[in-house]
Chains A and B, each alone.
Chain A
Amino acid sequence: MGKNSMSLRGRDVLALADFSADEIQMILETAKEMKNIIHRDIKKVPALRGKSIVTLFYEPSTRTRSSFELAGKYLGADVVNITAGTSSIVKGESLRDTLYTVEAMGVDAIVMRHKAEGAAEYASKVVSPVIINAGDGAHAHPSQGLLNLFTIMEKKGRFQGLKAAILGDISHSRVARSDIQGMRKMGIEVHLAGPKTLMPRYLFEEDGIYVHDRVEDAIKNADVINVLRIQLERQKSGLFPSPREYARIFGINDARLQLAKKDVLILHPGPMNKGLEISPFVAYGPNSAIQEQVQNGVAVRMAILTHALTGGKEV
């Protein structure tokens, strides 16, 4: 399919598995233009004027929710936020009924985060507005996968032939799944490492995905390292002995970083547990793009909304 004939208008954004490499590339190109808008003094374009977007969050979120909200507002859309704690959800309203209510108000897109894997897919079957998955359980977080790709593209100028390591809690991570899908589509080799208790027993059996026992093996000569957040509850539920041991054996610190390429790019989806999965020296060091990821998150989400709601024409 030629780039010009490609339109994502009306497409739900549920998981990167549903998108081709060309489609991903197109969104990233648009995000580049969007990033320029963020740097302007007056950050407002009329691309989505007259469109309305609801963010429907069943789980707490700082950066994803606010960056979708700002993305919509920079593009001129009206954005309303609904969070579980302050809505009829606490009164026991079912997901179907909440979705019907939001749909009835005439919204064009619903940006949704939910603890249940598949909640966004379910929503896409129930209501007609475009559904944008902002994270469903451990399944998918496509906008995070895209913003990671965007950051890699900016810093490395290419995807093909790069080696990326994803470290930590692969089992429970929607970011890992979206990264794996997105990176593989763009030709990046993916190396996974972390405690076996946090690694799916049945591995991702696709080409170009490698699983290592030791983080050292995964990050050797890596161009990109994505350090996943370790939730402290995982230790409480017996998946690793102590935060201390985790940091010592699986954490990313300066010494370990020497194994990667000199210009390795460090990513982290946030929020960080500094001193656990990542040392502060790495998090704030010269290789870190963690702050940049947040800004890129707004640009990528502007691109996603533009493509899904207008087909990308009116940028």
Chain B
Amino acid sequence: MKTLIKGGRVIDPANAIDKIADVLVEDGKIAAVGENLQAEGAQVVEAAGKIVSPGLIDMHVHLREPGQEAKEDFASGSKAAAAGGYTRVATMPNTNPVIDTAALVKAMQKRAEEDAVVHIEIIGAVTKGQKGEEMAEVGDMTEAGAIAFSDDGHFTKSAKVLLNCYDYLRTFDKVIINHDEEPSLVEEGVMNESHRSAMLGMKGRPTVAEDIAVARDIMLAEYADAKVHVAHISSARAVDIVRQAKARGVKVTAEATPQHMTMTDDCVELFDSSTKINPPLREQKDVDAVLEGLKDGTIDCIVTDHSPHAQEEKDREYIYAPSGFPGLETAVGVMMTDLVHTGKLDVATMIERMTAAPARIFGIEAGSLAEGMPADITVIDPELEWTVDAKKFYTKGSHSPFVGRKLKGRPVMTFVDGKMVMKDGEILA
């Protein structure tokens, strides 16, 4: 079985390729990338005017299995991923139960095999029940195939516990992903602490809560000579702290979301909880700094923090609604529209941050179009104009601040192991 993707702009940062070329897929693997490739009997896919990239990777999603299937499950979440051009997503362990044992990691891998249309990586909890008290069996989970560890959604309060986890995980060469917000400063807070929150009377989540948490976690990792990955960075100061730590040689990496690079807290409207996220939408100076960090390599990868909730959970008073919105199906469109087409970000850099970088950080055999690699491929139409419509989402979540937006640029084909799973926004079951 051969497929020839013809005449697209192939952007493959892992192999320093950015040129008009063909990609030949054979038996689920990349067979060749080159000009005017010929292949007898191959199915030909025209890609002229399109971008052909390694399948996009999102290392921070919440697919909600097990226990929260009203919000999302592996079937709906992986379809949303494929629709958004993603071929591999890593799902967070803040589920019910929390994924904190090897048995649960294996069970979730099995569920992924049964239901998912893209690759799903399982992130294990750092501490039992994500309670921040006792270390979870991270060695066992590593051997079961957990890709990384995180207590995402929670800040590890005890510095001692986190230091122990850093030390212990060095044996297994795994990364801890930290959600950095000092809890005592964000209690009850529902939006950025800012002029906007002062006007609205809403309780704030100040940037300093993120800054001191990032600083502490980086200093502990530096002390332990351990790897740390800062989740969804959103504050200008925190970006600076990461930049300085990298300059010192600390093994720190970081990620940012499209929303934190394109939206400010001015978007917060009291009647619409779709903008309620943690960390919150910040001010313009933070948005600018996060984008700058992404461009200069301080921030390594782009993630969505895809966090769907059930309609009835999100459709309520702002302060009572849970935080997060589904981002898999809008990420590329938002990045292309607000950052690439406006000249703020080079499309090749965007692709690098969504393919080669996450693969490198988390040690995944993916994110590259080298010969012999699994044929996970995304084809993006950079000029396609479309309007975000929650009714057409594959995710079960519907509250997104991007609903109704006109976007330019969208993934039009997704291949997983050489098989086309999405075409023109439709999942091919």
Contacts and interface: CB of A to CB of B under 8 A. Distances in A.
A138 B206 CA distance: 18
Contacts of A268: none
A94 B204 CA distance: 25
B201 A177 contact: yes
B317 A203 contact: no
Nearest to B319: A116
Interface string B299-319: 000000000000010011111
A117 B202 CA distance: 7
Contacts of B194: 202
A95 B201 contact: no
Interface string A178-217: 0000000000000000000000111111000000000000
B193 A118 contact: no
A125 B315 CA distance: 11
B195 interface: yes
Interface in A76-90: none
Contact of B199 (A122, A137, A177): A177
Given A94-B312, A116-B320, A201 B200 contact: no
B39 interface: no
A173 B318 CA distance: 18
Contact of A117 (B206, B312, B319): B319
A205 to B, nearest CB: 6
Interface in B171-219: 193-195, 197-204, 206
B202 A139 contact: yes
Of residues A138, A139, A202, which shows the largest number of chain B Cβ atoms within 10 Å of its Cβ? Answer: A202
A200 B315 CA distance: 28
A313 interface: no
Contacts of B270: 117-118, 121-122, 136, 139
Contact of B202 (A114, A121, A138): A138
B317 A114 contact: yes
Contacts of B271: 118, 121-122, 124-125
Nearest to A202: B195
A139 B201 contact: yes
A96 interface: yes
Of residues A114, A118, A121, which shows the largest number of chain B Cβ atoms within 10 Å of its Cβ? Answer: A118
A174 interface: yes
Contacts of B200: 117-118, 139
The prevalent SS among residues of A at the interface is loop
Nearest to A203: B198
A230 interface: no
Interface in A108-132: 114-119, 121-122, 124-125
A3 to B, nearest CB: 29
A205 B195 contact: yes
A140 interface: yes
Given A96-B316, A125-B271, A201-B193, A117 B201 contact: yes
Contact of B201 (A114, A124, A125, A138): A138
Interface in B238-279: 269-271
A200 B316 contact: no
Contacts of B193: 201-202
Nearest to B202: A117
A138 B203 CA distance: 9
B207 to A, nearest CB: 11
Interface in B301-343: 312, 315-320
Nearest to B196: A202
Interface in A279-315: none
Interface in A199-258: 200-205
A200 B198 contact: yes
A177 B199 CA distance: 7
Nearest to B190: A117
A94 B311 CA distance: 12
A143 B70 CA distance: 41
A142 to B, nearest CB: 13
B341 to A, nearest CB: 31
A193 to B, nearest CB: 16
A118 B198 CA distance: 14
Contacts of A205: 195
B312 A200 contact: no
Nearest to A118: B270
A119 B317 contact: yes
Interface string B381-396: 0000000000000000
Nearest to B320: A116
Interface string A65-104: 0000000000000000000000000000011100000000
Contact of A202 (B197, B203, B315): B197
B398 to A, nearest CB: 14
A146 B194 CA distance: 27
B198 A204 contact: yes
A202 B285 CA distance: 15
Nearest to B270: A118
Contacts of A95: 316-317
A122 B317 contact: yes
Contacts of A94: 312, 315-316
B353 to A, nearest CB: 31
Contacts of B204: 201
Contacts of B317: 95, 114, 116, 118-119, 122
B197 A200 contact: yes
B404 to A, nearest CB: 14
Contacts of A203: 195, 198
A140 B206 CA distance: 22
Contacts of B206: 201
Contacts of A96: 315-316
A209 B318 CA distance: 28
A92 B201 CA distance: 26
Nearest to A177: B201
B360 to A, nearest CB: 39
A202 B282 CA distance: 13
A177 B200 CA distance: 8
Nearest to B201: A138
Contacts of B312: 94
A115 B197 CA distance: 16
A6 B312 CA distance: 39
A117 B203 CA distance: 10
B198 A202 contact: yes
A-B complex: 10 closest residue pairs judged by Cβ atoms: A118-B270, A138-B201, A200-B198, A116-B317, A139-B201, A121-B271, A122-B271, A202-B195, A116-B319, A121-B270
Given A114-B317, A138-B201, A203-B195, 5 more contacts: A117-B270, A117-B319, A118-B200, A122-B318, A174-B201
5 contacts: A117-B202, A118-B269, A200-B197, A202-B194, A203-B195
